[in-house]
A and B are shown apart, each in its own frame.
Chain A
Amino acid sequence: MVKRTFAPEVKIIRSIVLWCGLLSAGFSADDASAQYAVQTETSLTYAGLGTSLGVGYKFDHIRIFSGMNYLYSNNLNKGGWSTTIDYKPDSSSGKVFIRTDFFSYQNAQQNQLRITQGYAGYGHIIRIKKHWEINSGIGIGGYRERLVKGAPEYTSNGMSYCISLGFSYWQ
């Protein structure tokens, strides 16, 4: 009899849901002076399930996050990058966002595959402590896969989605 274990992505999603449930129990006043943040986010996109870690900056109603992205669903060995721009009015917990992801992968034939994705969508930002926020979002957009080096020529384009959930710490 073969014993089945849960895949890492299943365990991660369960952990995230649990922590969000615990942390979202509190709420505090907004800290208007905080402008820089550290953010971690887990997201499901065309390229697969991944986690990003990056920095953020906000001015007026605009927030920009950018950081490295690691894919669980793919053997990423050349690095990935994710950048998101949010627009969030102070009076609202909702936001609209634009997101772009870049991944580079060296496949079994030693060819370099590049995946580019872009999404636009809607999400929420919930301030749970003085410095902490929970971010969520769902978007729709497109992807492009391309072999930048190697034969044969390969390009694939299409539509896709993104679903994300993460935390920010503002200073």
Chain B
Amino acid sequence: MSATNPHPANSEAAIRRALFAFGADGVEVDIQLTSDGKIVLYHDHRLESSTNGFGAIGELKMEDVVTASYKGALDASRDYPVISLQHLFDILDEAQRVVKVSLNLQPQSDALDQPALFQKRAEQLMAEITSDVTSRHVIIIESPEPEQMIALKMAAAGRDDIPLYFTAEATDQNIAFAVDHQLQGLVSNYLKCTPQMRQRMDNANLQWSLYGLKIHSDVREALNFQPDAVQTDDIPFTLRMLDR
């Protein structure tokens, strides 16, 4: 939340404002898996970190998770419930245009995730993102965990309608990982970018998305790297910088 983004991240109000009020090309949201295999939009693995709910999302059913509401919002008079991935898809359809959505698959716990969990999450995520949805919108999956990316690639076998992006800096090692596993791109923090990285990404034929853009100077500096996409808090200013 900020002066330009007064609603909690991943909330329906924030998504609607970005897509409908300011006409953004798309949104980036964080996702977690519930105990019954459903997907909800939330960053952390425990509800009490940002909502009035309690418990680990991985141990709760979706019907319990979506009863929680974000706390500490600038507007205390309205409710900001946690929403499901399917609810996000319904909002996208209201836009009546092709919308790009980046689903950032967050770690499930503080401890190292187990390989079986990576596979389970990948399979359940692919089941939620049907070809019916990808025929109407562009759905990208991101993850900062290499093992999760490998599991996603395996679960996506035979499906070329869901681009996979590795959330990491554009170092030689990470670029090699993306190329070796036939991923479509990287998502990097613009503060750690260098001009040499732009050249490496071009040579590897990978898409490059930058995040961490919160204020005007962030937008100006990030656009200097000529990314293929940016994740920004200030949509109107970013659009102006892109001459749109």
A residues contacting B by CB (< 8 A) are 1-10, 44, 46, 48-49, 72-76, 105, 107-111, 113, 145, 147, 151-152, 154, 156-161
Stretch at the interface among B73-81, B101-109, B122-130, B131-139: B73-81
Say yes or no: is B21 at the interface (Cβ < 8 Å to chain A): yes
- Contact pick for A154, options B4, B16, B76, B191, CB 8 Å: B16
CB atoms of A107 and B6 under 8 A apart: no
CB atoms of B237 and A74 under 8 A apart: yes
CB atoms of B23 and A158 under 8 A apart: no
CB atoms of A73 and B4 under 8 A apart: yes
Instruction: Please report which residues of chain B, range 212-238, place their CB below 8 angstroms from some CB of chain A when the two chains form the complex.
Output: 215-218, 221, 234-237
- Contact pick for B6, options A7, A46, A152, CB 8 Å: A46
CB atoms of A154 and B3 under 8 A apart: no
CB distance from B222 to the nearest CB of A (A): 9
CB distance from A78 to the nearest CB of B (A): 12
- Contact pick for A6, options B4, B22, B190, B217, CB 8 Å: B217
- Given A44-B3, A113-B22, A151-B96, the answer on whether A74 and B221 have CB atoms closer than 8 Å is no
Scan B22-33; emit 1 where CB is below 8 A from any A CB, else 0. Answer: 111100000000
CB atoms of B20 and A147 under 8 A apart: yes
CB distance from B191 to the nearest CB of A (A): 6
Between A and B, 7 residue pairs with Cβ closer than 8 Å are A4-B217, A7-B216, A10-B215, A75-B240, A145-B21, A156-B16, A160-B74
CB atoms of A156 and B17 under 8 A apart: yes
Say yes or no: is B95 at the interface (Cβ < 8 Å to chain A): yes
Cα–Cα, bound, A73→B237 (Å): 7
- Given A2-B193, A105-B236, the answer on whether A154 and B221 have CB atoms closer than 8 Å is no
> What are the residues of chain B within 8 A of A108 when measuring CB–CB?
22-25, 235, 239, 244
Instruction: Give the nearest-CB partner of A49 in chain B.
Output: B3
> What are the residues of chain B within 8 A of A154 when measuring CB–CB?
16, 20-21
Say yes or no: is B204 at the interface (Cβ < 8 Å to chain A): no
Cα–Cα, bound, A74→B238 (Å): 9
Instruction: Give the nearest-CB partner of B6 in chain A.
Output: A46
Cα–Cα, bound, A83→B68 (Å): 39
CB atoms of B237 and A75 under 8 A apart: yes
Instruction: Give the nearest-CB partner of A113 in chain B.
Output: B21
> What are the residues of chain B within 8 A of A152 when measuring CB–CB?
20, 94-96
Say yes or no: is B13 at the interface (Cβ < 8 Å to chain A): yes
Instruction: Give the nearest-CB partner of A76 in chain B.
Output: B236
CB distance from B199 to the nearest CB of A (A): 16
CB atoms of B221 and A111 under 8 A apart: no
> What are the residues of chain B within 8 A of A147 when measuring CB–CB?
20-21
CB atoms of B215 and A107 under 8 A apart: no
> What are the residues of chain B within 8 A of A46 when measuring CB–CB?
6, 74
- Given A74-B4, A159-B75, A159-B76, the answer on whether A145 and B215 have CB atoms closer than 8 Å is no
List the 8 shortest-distance A-B pairs measured between CB atoms, nearest first: A108-B23, A107-B23, A75-B236, A109-B23, A154-B20, A158-B75, A7-B215, A75-B240
- Contact pick for B77, options A74, A75, A109, A158, CB 8 Å: A158
- Contact pick for B21, options A44, A76, A156, A158, CB 8 Å: A156
Instruction: Give the nearest-CB partner of B22 in chain A.
Output: A107
